[in-house]
Structure 1
């Protein structure tokens, strides 16, 4: 298991052990993670070190799970294992999808650049051209090269959506939780609160990893929850978990150009992004193990505890980098102007 201490990695380790696998958990540090079951063998691995992954894998592993392939060199490491590993499951992303005009997540900041996908998006939807220009094109290249291995090393690629759950480095739910902790009792939702960005709980992704490990094959499958709630619905669920009442102000349309953070949440998209899970159900017998609503209390409890440890920027530096999620002054100015 590569990336065993990451958000998806932790859940996948638990799922595989419960299914009877003997798991070697690889991460930069060799220490055990507290969420791992007994019997998991930790291994220190820096995959950016030349030859380190091949040496760690050896010759006798039936399965390789990779939750953290993020560079062309990582893909080459995997292709070089063909013939030495029985099969693999690798996490990809829904960001590979393109619409009929070639628009994708990578063009969303351009004029009229946000993609218009079918609802839901099947795995047969076109993808961005493979390359190394950006995240989506790299993942498309990874998929192409790993699928080309065929039966030499059958790889199941899981295209995840908006991943959520505990141990996230970039928890979208922070947008609500911090406002609650800060005493904010009004929020603005752009696009009338209708935005839908299909969530993928780590336990559901881990269940897909478990099922794909049982049924190896070269394939691409979406990896998402059974439900894709709107951001307005997520706000209602969050209020129920937190036990609070917050006024929701709906902004019909995009955030204002002179105040682009107003109404913008981590789910706020001008068009829905919803993934079709029919293929996973058909090919693997997939049934989700949780829903967004059922999983939310655990996520909020973990997130609240992390927030109480100190400044949110220190707790979640990846989320804080280059982002202003909590511009309350801009929100208050907009509310004052539009409530007159």
Structure 2
């Protein structure tokens, strides 16, 4: 059973498991299907917050539960309460649980000197934030702790995903470049010299990790990212190549020079790059797609979505996180005075 099957990771995960011979029940709030799924995939509606509904879908038992929408200790306990009916689990977490040797993490980024200085690359042995219910990161940490503590009862592979990308994303970072090209912008400004690195993770590569972990049950934590972590300038160039444009890039040393000017969804002062060697060694993981090769389908999906209306309505989560992503007036004013 795949919980959250209609989402960004769920669609390719269901398809990968079905191709591997699993009989898959695809559970989601709407109960929808993806065109890539075969007729053998059973789609059902599921309210994740309803304990009884979850237990009913699990039924008398299943060999595997893949949970793509779990947050916090409560969701972990929902799964472990059904441990006698579940063979093993694969659960998605996040690289945001990591903290540096000074206790800084994703939750401290907005504080003075609060951006974490992670080792390059970050291995799974890196310390994590204290579990709790206050933030996304602390809830993911609580989810992990609860599941791993019950590893003998329910063997669970926890996958710490990076900056997830691909079609059906609620937070499509690539929109920063795609929309600018569609709007006819001839240039862009990139802070930190365009050298920011925030490790991306293709939904298709995460699906491959899900498939591999399904075949090798165990209690473990693994990073889930792409084979490379390109710079933000490199990402921009890759999108340019897909869309056939050659814009002018203005690089700024240091942080954004004013407001959101120069700020992208990948712009970080220090790199966040993850070590993928553990997944290679434990699961035999080999990525199924590179960042660059994954872009055409993402760009085409974004084109279609933008044709439906204003970007804020199409991607409300992105608009809340990055409200000034396309403040062209501020950008033009800064360029005029630069």
Normalising by the residue count of structure 1, what TM-score does the alignment of the two structures yield? 0.97
Unaligned runs of 5+ in 1: none
Within 5 A, what are the aligned runs for 1:108-127? 108-127=109-128
**SS in structure 1 at match of 2:27:** strand
Deviation at 1:235, TM superposition (A): 1.0
Deviation at 1:297, TM superposition (A): 1.0
**SS in structure 2 at match of 1:159:** strand
Deviation at 1:220, TM superposition (A): 0.1
Within 5 A, what are the aligned runs for 1:30-69? 30-69=31-70
Q: Distance in 2 between matches of 1:158 and 1:28?
A: 22
Aligned partner of 1:219 in structure 2 is: 220
Q: Distance in 2 between matches of 1:29 and 1:186?
A: 40
Aligned partner of 2:279 in structure 1 is: 280
- The answer on 1:314 being equivalent to 2:313 is yes
Within 5 A, what are the aligned runs for 1:177-326? 177-256=178-257, 259-321=258-320, 323-326=323-326
Aligned partner of 1:19 in structure 2 is: 20
**SS in structure 1 at match of 2:152:** helix
Structure 1 residues 221-230 or 26-35, which shifts more? Answer: 26-35
Deviation at 1:67, TM superposition (A): 0.3
Deviation at 1:320, TM superposition (A): 1.3
The list of structure 1 runs, each at least 4 consecutive aligned residues, that deviate by more than 6 angstroms after superposition, is: none
Normalising by the residue count of structure 2, what TM-score does the alignment of the two structures yield? 0.97
**SS in structure 2 at match of 1:237:** helix
Deviation at 1:201, TM superposition (A): 0.2
**SS in structure 2 at match of 1:110:** coil
Contact residue 105 and residue 115 of structure 1 kept, 8 A: yes
Contact residue 82 and residue 149 of structure 1 kept, 8 A: no
Q: Distance in 2 between matches of 1:39 and 1:63?
A: 17
1:232-259 per-position Cα deviation (integer Å, ceiling 9, x unaligned): 1111111111101100000100013xx3
Contact residue 99 and residue 126 of structure 1 kept, 8 A: yes
Contact residue 100 and residue 117 of structure 2 kept, 8 A: yes
**SS in structure 1 at match of 2:133:** coil
Q: Distance in 2 between matches of 1:219 and 1:74?
A: 18
Aligned partner of 2:153 in structure 1 is: 152
When the two structures are aligned, how many residues end up with a matched partner? Answer: 336
Deviation at 1:72, TM superposition (A): 3.6
